[in-house]
């Protein structure tokens, strides 16, 4: 099989637990991919602006950000999939009714948090969302909304996911990357829909794609591509979904697998 596109999740997959990657090793893989017309894609629930910063030294990287709701390059946003205003307001009503939940509203231009969030949540939010704005009320945000990012007690993640999904209804999909982090996205949007857009744009078949993941928000992407790879540290359902496995994220499993795949 000829691989023409490589897509990777970030947290728990491409990045180590301390949010780094081996730039020297990756540079050799990136140079090989560039010379052989293989497209590299960062496919993440994270904000577009954060992903661009991670790969500022790798200018041909493409991005499927916000769990598929934004697709672009370093220089251009190709497309966005945003919520209707009615769904935005209903989602905020549901989130405001839940205890032990803190939320980020992710827009095209910025992310938004309420001014009354805890200092710890504000600090974490600013790391993951370099473009972020504090507002008095999330209901007053006028940006086009891509996604809602929610933090809840880690041991109650599944319960909150089910509750949020039931309360909002079938217009949304509720996914998790673990550790109490939940994303609410449009039901018809995920990382696979982002890759499907790139498939058409770049004339690359899904069978010619390779993807790496570790969590529930990677499942559609891993099913979509021809060469799906689970991290050693991935959740059980990811191992059931992906036909291949690599070592864990702290051992640079993505880079190692690509070195083996491309015989670098």
DSSP 8-state assignment for residue 251: G
Residue pair 5/198 in contact by the 8 Å Cβ criterion: yes
For residues 95 and 98, what is the distance between their CA atoms, to the nearest angstrom? 5
- 132-155 as b/e: b if 16+ CB within 10 A: beeeeebeebebebbbbbbbbeee
Number of other CB atoms surrounding residue 198 within 10 Å: 20
Which residue blocks in the chain are alpha helix, DSSP H? Answer: 23-35, 48-54, 85-96, 119-128, 157-168, 191-202, 219-224, 236-241, 253-262
Q: How far apart are CA 43 and CA 37, in angstroms?
A: 19
Contact 257, 212 (CB under 8 A): yes
Q: Tell me, yes or no, if 181 is annotated catalytic.
A: no
Q: Which residues are catalytic?
A: 9
């Amino acid at each position: 099989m000829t691989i023409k596109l490589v897509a990777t999740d970030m947290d728990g997959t491409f990045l180590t637990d301390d949010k780094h990657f081996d730039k020297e090793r990756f540079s050799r893989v990136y140079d090989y991919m560039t010379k052989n017309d293989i497209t590299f894609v960062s496919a993440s629930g994270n904000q577009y602006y954060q992903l661009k910063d991670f790969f500022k030294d790798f200018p041909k990287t493409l991005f499927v950000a916000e769990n598929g709701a934004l697709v672009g390059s370093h220089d251009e946003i190709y497309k966005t999939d945003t919520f209707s205003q009615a769904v935005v307001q209903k989602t905020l009503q549901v989130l405001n009714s839940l205890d032990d939940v803190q939320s980020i509203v992710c827009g095209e231009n910025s992310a938004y948090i309420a001014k009354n969030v805890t200092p710890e949540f504000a600090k974490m939010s600013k790391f993951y969302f370099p473009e972020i704005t504090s507002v008095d009320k999330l209901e007053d945000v006028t940006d086009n909304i891509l996604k809602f990012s929610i933090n809840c007690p880690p041991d109650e993640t599944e319960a909150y996911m089910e509750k949020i999904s039931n309360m909002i209804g079938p217009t949304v999909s509720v996914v998790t990357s673990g550790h109490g982090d939940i994303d609410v996205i449009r039901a018809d949007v995920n990382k696979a829909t982002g890759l499907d857009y790139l498939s058409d744009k770049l004339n690359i078949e899904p069978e010619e794609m390779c993807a790496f993941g570790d969590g529930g928000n990677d499942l559609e992407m891993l099913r979509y591509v021809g060469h799906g790879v689970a991290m050693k540290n991935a959740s059980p359902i990811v191992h059931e979904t992906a036909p291949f496995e690599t070592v864990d994220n702290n051992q640079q499993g993505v880079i190692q697998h690509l070195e083996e795949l491309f015989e670098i």
